[in-house]
Each structure stands twice: as structure tokens, then as C-alpha cells.
Amino acid sequence: MLPATATTGGSDTALGDWYVNRIVVDHQPLLLLVSSTSLLPMLLPARDVRALPGRLASIVEERLKRCGVANPSIDAEIRAMNSVVVGPTTDRSVLGIMVDFAKAVPYHLEAGRWDDLTLRVVEDRLAETPCHAGRASDRVIFPETKAPELLRAKWLANRRLQRSAGVPRR
């Protein structure tokens, strides 16, 4: 369990808060992480869990690179993640998605025949899953497309605002 720290409000990143849950597949503990806004999933071995807040930005950066997100958007998102706060769950709909993802993971992993690299394939499959499918079709979220869309929208708009305000580029 991660120790809670003082909360200061919601995230100001494009991908929002990250939710984490420990699951066990094939007697192996894993961490399932899900972005609150894009529902982009990440899976990793449950090792050194207490250090996760310090590693989260690099884990997210690696995942976004595998999604094909442009480096300027990744860099902006990682800069916005400079402070990680551990707090209680606030969005029950994200928890529901996490339950669905957790139930699906074992179907993608052949017992005794998977490793850490296989988890990337499972992440990609989960990211193709339509989330909130009971909603109107324009409100269904496909994490693999929603994450890049949110990053482009926030960080491209932010760069345009900075240029129009005369803020120099980094």
C-alpha cells in the first residue's frame, strides 16, 4: 500500500490522475494503472511499490512513447507530473473500468508462459477496449486514441497560448 500524502486538488496534466490497483495473475502480483481522463492502462510487476510515486513519470513517458505520442506533448505531460500526490480514490467510474481491465488481464496471459515484456502486449489490447460502451457512441472512450487526443489538445493549445503571450520556447 502506498502512504497517502496531503492532497491539493486534481491533477493539471492532460491525462489526469492515475489510479493504481494491485492484481494477481498466475500467482504473480501486478500493478494496474489507469489514467482518469483517457483510461489508458499500464501493467507492471508489483516491485518496489513504495517507490512508484517517484517512478510514475518515467513509466508514463515510456508508455506514451509506445503509443506514438509526439515528444513535445510527452515532455509537457512529464513536466506537469513533477509532483506526485498519493490520495484516496475519487472517481468510481474509473474504478469500474479498472475492475473490467483486471478481469480481462488473465485472458491475455497464458499461465506460466508470460513475462514483463508480454505485459506491453496486454496493455495494448486493453487500450483497444471500448470504455463506457453503454453511453452514446460519441461518449465511448477508446484509450489508445483518447490519450493522444487529450495530450494534443492540452499541450498544443498551451504552446499556442504561450507563443501568443510572447513566452519563449524551452
What pLDDT is attached to residue 167? 53
Neighbours of 146 (CB within 10 A): 19
**Average pLDDT for 47-57:** 92
Q: Which DSSP string corresponds to 105-125?
A: HHHHS-TT---HHHHHHHHHH
* Per-residue pLDDT band at 93 (split at 50, 70, 90): very high
Of the listed ranges 5-19, 42-56, 155-169, the one predicted with least confidence: 155-169
C-alpha dihedral sign at 123, 129, 135, 138:
positive
The predicted model gives 82-107 an average pLDDT of 90
- Domain map of the chain by residue range? 18-164
Contacts of residues 87-91 at CB distance under 8 Å and 24 or more positions apart, as own/partner, are 87/4, 87/5, 87/7, 88/4, 89/19, 90/17, 91/17, 91/19, 91/36
Give the residue, 142 or 166, on which the prediction is more confident: 142
- List phi, psi (to 5°) of 11: -70, 150
Average pLDDT over residues 142-158: 91
Residue 21, H or E segment? strand 18-25
Rounded to an integer, the average pLDDT of 139-150 is 96
Rounded to an integer, the average pLDDT of 24-53 is 95
Domain 18-164 adopts which CATH fold? Nucleotidyltransferase; domain 5 (3.30.420)
Q: What integer pLDDT is reported at residue 89 of this predicted model?
A: 79
For 114-127, what is each residue's pLDDT tens digit? 988 999 999 999 99
Question: Which pLDDT belongs to residue 116?
Answer: 87
Contact in structure between 19 and 27 (CB atoms under 8 Å): no
pLDDT value for 154: 92
Q: Express as a percent the part of the chain with pLDDT over 90.
A: 72
